[in-house]
Amino acid sequence: MLKAISLIGYLAMVGGLIGLLATRNVFSPSPVVILAQIGALALMVWARITFGRRSYHLAANPTAGGVVDTGPYRFIRHPIYTAMIVFTTTGAAAHLSWTTFMLVGLVWAGALSRMFCEERLVMARYPDYRQYAAKTWRMIPFVF
């Protein structure tokens, strides 16, 4: 059931991003938005490099190799989802409308559902994940 929910979350994230791109509401000439999106892309690349050659699955599926707790994973458990949320939210914030609110809401809902599904699946496979989760934040240090 968790894998099915995570797949729906993935589709929601991708759908929200595609919707924002289609409505031209993800990019902005604002220097603040550009800097935030560059930072989000840098975080995503850093996390992906740190994660290594492990594959990415459409549905949540813990990969072999144990818990990754280096790079950005030292500070937050879900840097790639955090980057996706920052990237889309800052772009949408520059184009406020009900449409952008709903589309970025899809990205948030999808990312959060995947986070919670993945955490439960990884905890079941790697019991030491519980200790890792106790010393890191999901997305934003000292907040969430």
Averaged pLDDT of the chain:
92
Closest CA to 111 of 67, 70, 144: 144
Model pLDDT, residue 133? 93
Count of CB atoms situated within 10 Å of the CB of 134:
7
Place of tokens 């990415």: 56
Asked whether residue 19 carries a pLDDT value surpassing 80, the answer given is yes
Q: According to the model, what pLDDT value does residue 91 have?
A: 94
Residue 124 CB contacts under 8 Å (≥ 6 apart), including other chains: 62
**pLDDT at residue 65, as a whole number:** 78
CA distance 26 to 24: 6
User: Is residue 55 pLDDT above 70, yes or no?
Assistant: no
The structure's pTM equals 0.91
pLDDT per residue as tens digits for the range 123-135? 998 999 999 999 9
The Cα–Cα gap between 66 and 125 comes to 9
Q: How do residues 83-110 score in pLDDT, each as one tens digit?
A: 999 999 999 999 999 999 999 999 999 9
Alpha-helix residue ranges (DSSP H) falling in the chain: 2-22, 31-51, 79-93, 98-125, 129-135
Q: Residue 90 and residue 86: Cα distance in Å, rounded?
A: 6
